[in-house]
């Protein structure tokens, strides 16, 4: 079952902040965040691991609530280049996931001047 | 540039035909993942290989098959193509798999007419 992202779409002006949420019904080992521009490959932003370790981008932060199986991506002081579709991908805890990711449906972020 | 390469970039073919998509992972990466992205289904995991062996399977049709060769490049074979197979096919690679960042290639856009 795929994680659920909210909101489905966000419209911002440059300099504004946004939060994108990702929620799963399964116990998670890791949450991966990507940004994709139309017709291009998803670009890695951030990975959050069970146990609290984070690796990612300087200007973007994220949180991972292991108890609630939820993650949030925080985009601050947005720039035009932040526009795109944001996906969370989740890897389930347990021995058979082997790192495969199940992706949410995406959140479309549009930043206007 | 993620370091993952995919060929061809575009593929146009007819229903009933067979095609092969190729992926070369980043240098040093042992895991290769294949994902399908269509408008109505989003990013769907198909299959994962690790160091030449199949590790995890997702929503991959029986008409589709994949393999990973000793030099670690991977091929995704799609046969008896149907209109609904038209999509973007992405390959991603990572180190061992669990808890590691997956870097996506540029994708192959398949159009079945």
Name chain A contacts of B42, Cβ cutoff 8 Å: 2, 87, 103-106
pLDDT in tens, B16-45: 999 999 999 999 999 999 999 998 778 999
Higher pLDDT, B67 or A95: B67
pLDDT in tens, B45-82: 999 999 999 998 998 999 999 999 999 999 999 999 99
The answer to whether B35 touches B56, Cβ cutoff 8 Å, is: no
Q: What is the pLDDT of residue A98?
A: 64
**Closest in B45, B104, B107 to A100, CB measured:** B45
Q: What is the pLDDT of residue B41?
A: 75
Contacts of A81 (CB under 8 A, 6+ apart): A111
Cross-chain Cβ contact A42/B43 below 8 Å: yes
Name chain B contacts of A97, Cβ cutoff 8 Å: 56, 98
Q: Annotate B31-66 with b (16+ C-beta within 10 A) or e (fewer).
A: bbbbbbbeeeebbbbbbbbbeeeebbebebeeebeb
Cross-chain Cβ contact A99/B105 below 8 Å: no
Which pair of structure tokens corresponds to residue B67?
């393999």
The DSSP bridge partners found for residue A22 are: A5, A71
From the number of C-beta atoms within 10 Å of its C-beta (0-12, 13-18, 19+), residue B91 rates as: buried
B93 touches chain A (CB under 8 A): no
Q: What is the pLDDT of residue A99?
A: 74
**Closest in B31, B43, B90 to A99, CB measured:** B31
| Whole-number Cα distances in Å, A92 to A27, A70, A100, B35 | 6, 12, 8, 17
Within a 10 A sphere around the Cβ of A37, how many other Cβ atoms? 12
Cross-chain Cβ contact B50/A98 below 8 Å: yes
pLDDT in tens, A42-85: 999 999 987 666 666 667 889 898 888 999 999 988 999 999 99
């Amino acid at each position: 079952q795929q994680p659920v992202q909210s909101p489905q779409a966000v419209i911002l002006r440059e300099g504004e902040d946004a939060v994108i949420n990702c929620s799963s019904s399964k116990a998670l080992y890791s949450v991966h965040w990507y940004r994709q521009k139309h017709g291009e490959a998803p670009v890695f932003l951030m990975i959050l691991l069970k146990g609290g370790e984070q690796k990612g981008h300087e200007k973007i932060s994220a949180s991972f609530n292991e108890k609630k199986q939820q993650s949030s991506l925080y985009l601050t002081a947005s720039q035009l280049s932040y526009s795109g579709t944001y996906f969370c991908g989740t890897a389930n805890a347990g021995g058979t996931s082997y790192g495969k990711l199940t992706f949410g449906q995406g959140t479309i972020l549009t930043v206007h001047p | 540039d993620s370091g993952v390469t995919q060929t061809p970039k575009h593929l146009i073919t007819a229903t009933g035909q067979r095609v092969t998509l190729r992926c070369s992972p980043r240098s040093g990466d042992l895991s290769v993942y294949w994902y399908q992205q269509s408008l109505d289904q989003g990013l769907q995991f198909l299959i994962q290989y690790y160091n030449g062996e199949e590790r995890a399977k997702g929503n991959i049709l029986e008409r589709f098959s994949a393999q990973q060769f000793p030099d670690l490049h991977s091929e995704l074979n799609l046969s008896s193509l149907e209109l609904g197979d038209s999509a973007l096919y992405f390959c991603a690679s990572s180190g061992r798999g669990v808890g590691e960042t997956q870097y996506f290639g540029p994708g192959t856009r398949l159009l079945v007419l």
